[in-house]
Amino acid sequence: MNPNKERILTGDRTTGQLHLGHYVGSLRSRVELQEVHDTYILLADVQALTTHYEQPELIANSVHQVTLDYLAVGIDPDKSTLFIQSMIPEIAELTVIFSMFVTVNALRHNPTIKTEARDRGYTDLYYGFLGYPVSQAADIACCKTTLIPAGEDQIPHVETARKLVRRFNELYAPVFPEPRILTGARLGGLDGVGKMSKSMGNAISLNADPQDVQAKLTKAKTDPARIRRSDPGHPDICPVYAYHQLFRSADTEEIHTACSQGKIGCTDCKRLAGDAVNELLAPFRERRGYYEQRKSQVKELLMEGTRKARRTAKETMLEVREAMGIRY
Ligand code: SF4
């Protein structure tokens, strides 16, 4: 690896298609990062099992769909290594080793685990769900990752990974770099409550058609102060205005002024936001259509990336075994 390049690991759990929140939060930056850094992108099908173990067919189908999403937004398999987690047994091996250095209480106090467990209504935690950050640490360490693009909710997991690699390095030998975090932007849901999430029904899929995009935006929450068109609004608290800020930079100031002075109706404003989203998604739809016709090519590029990631993971595990003195 070029010493001036960062080794980046990023990815998604394969529990369904990706949406605009994923694009703003990470896909957009991945497209830029792949130009400069050594980028690995993980299709986390094992971690998908932590919450969807009863739906293996959904996970398998999602591996293909998420790959299409990646290719659609401009991730280039010649620049980024796309790989499937379950095809790298070394990750599972390292997960077991790392699980020796982390306590159950430390995992229980992970704020993201606590929030997810509460949101999912779990009264008890499955071992795999609780150990999700350990598995993620193994993904990171197997690839010898130095930089991790992460949303705010992922920061506690990355902190766990940092602690685990530090502990390993202290105990045995300095095998792993301690990864740094690169935080990304965030897009709120259309309901104005929390982040965009498919399970909360407040998301726009990356493969949504133009009518669907407009229909979703029509239902978006706005500033509740605006009852009549002439009521002055507060765009800075309006979820729709966030879309203008992110996708329609040229008219953003005008819309702010018009809303604040009660000179634009929310229906028109939402339509303009929908137009902006559709403009962004148009080339994605075209690229996705191209790859949808080439299923075997998509599979092969995924296998090629997985073979490369496995070579990396195997080399790492040789060092791990050497450091621990368990290389028989
Ligand atoms: Fe929101 Fe636009 Fe309505 Fe203002 S005019 S409240 S920014 S949708």
| 282 and 305 in a common domain | no
Q: Distance from the CA of 270 to the center of ligand 1, in angstroms?
A: 7
Q: Dig out the tokens for 153 from the structure.
A: 């909710």
Domain-embedded: residue 200: no
Residue 233 near ligand 1, beta carbon < 6 Å: yes
| 275 and 144 in a common domain | no
Residue 240 near ligand 1, beta carbon < 6 Å: yes
Residue 264 near ligand 1, beta carbon < 6 Å: yes
Q: How many domains does the chain have?
A: 2
Closest ligand 1 atom to Cα of 264: 5
Closest ligand 1 atom to Cα of 260: 4
| 167 and 148 in a common domain | yes
| 304 and 270 in a common domain | no
Domain-embedded: residue 196: no
Q: Distance from the CA of 104 to the center of ligand 1, in angstroms?
A: 47
Question: For residue 199, what pLDDT is reported?
Answer: 64
Residue 235 near ligand 1, beta carbon < 6 Å: yes
**Measured distance CA(328)–CA(315) in Å, rounded:** 16
Q: Distance from the CA of 28 to the center of ligand 1, in angstroms?
A: 25
| 276 and 216 in a common domain | yes
Question: For residue 200, what pLDDT is reported?
Answer: 66
| 180 and 122 in a common domain | yes
Q: In what order do the strands lie in the sheet with 38-44?
A: 80-84, 38-44, 7-13, 147-150, 180-183
Question: For residue 25, what pLDDT is reported?
Answer: 87
| Partners of 147 in beta bridges | 8, 180
Q: What is the DSSP letter of 205?
A: B
| Partners of 195 in beta bridges | 188
**Measured distance CA(256)–CA(232) in Å, rounded:** 11
Question: For residue 203, what pLDDT is reported?
Answer: 85
Domain of residue 242, residue span: 208-287
Q: Distance from the CA of 244 to the center of ligand 1, in angstroms?
A: 10
Domain-embedded: residue 273: yes
Q: CA nearest 35: which of 2, 87, 76, 72?
A: 76
| Three-state DSSP string of 64-133 | HHHHHHHHHHCCCCCCEEEEEHHHCHHHHHHHHHHHHHCCHHHHHCCHHHHHHHHHCCCCCCCHHHHCHH
Question: For residue 247, what pLDDT is reported?
Answer: 87
The CATH number given to whatever domain includes residue 48 is: 3.40.50.620
Domain-embedded: residue 195: no
Domain-embedded: residue 198: no
Domain-embedded: residue 31: yes
The residue whose two tokens read 């729709």 is 240
Pocket perturbation via mutation, ligand 1, pick of 218, 259, 270, 272 by most ligand atoms within 8 A of CB:
259
pTM, 2 dp: 0.91
| 170 and 93 in a common domain | yes
The verdict on ipTM greater than 0.90 is yes
**Measured distance CA(173)–CA(167) in Å, rounded:** 10
Q: CA nearest 206: which of 30, 28, 22, 83?
A: 22
Domain-embedded: residue 1: no
Q: Distance from the CA of 211 to the center of ligand 1, in angstroms?
A: 20
Question: For residue 249, what pLDDT is reported?
Answer: 67
| 303 and 276 in a common domain | no
Pocket perturbation via mutation, ligand 1, pick of 223, 229, 231, 252 by most ligand atoms within 8 A of CB:
223
Domain-embedded: residue 19: yes
Closest ligand 1 atom to Cα of 258: 5
**Residue nearest to ligand 1 atom 5, measured at CA:** 266
**Measured distance CA(325)–CA(328) in Å, rounded:** 8
Task: Provide the 10 A C-beta neighbour count for residue 273.
Answer: 25
| 281 and 154 in a common domain | no
Intervals of the chain under pLDDT 70: 1-3, 185, 192-193, 198-201, 249
Q: DSSP per residue over 158-171, as a string?
A: HHHHHHHHHHHHHH
**Measured distance CA(107)–CA(11) in Å, rounded:** 21
| 103 and 22 in a common domain | yes
Question: For residue 47, what pLDDT is reported?
Answer: 94
| 141 and 115 in a common domain | yes
The CATH number given to whatever domain includes residue 275 is: 1.10.240.10
> pLDDT tens digits for 176-235?
999 999 887 677 777 766 777 766 667 899 999 999 999 999 998 898 888 888 888 899
> pLDDT tens digits for 222-270?
988 888 888 888 999 999 999 999 888 678 899 999 999 999 999 999 9
Closest ligand 1 atom to Cα of 241: 7
Residue 136 near ligand 1, beta carbon < 6 Å: no
| 17 and 155 in a common domain | yes
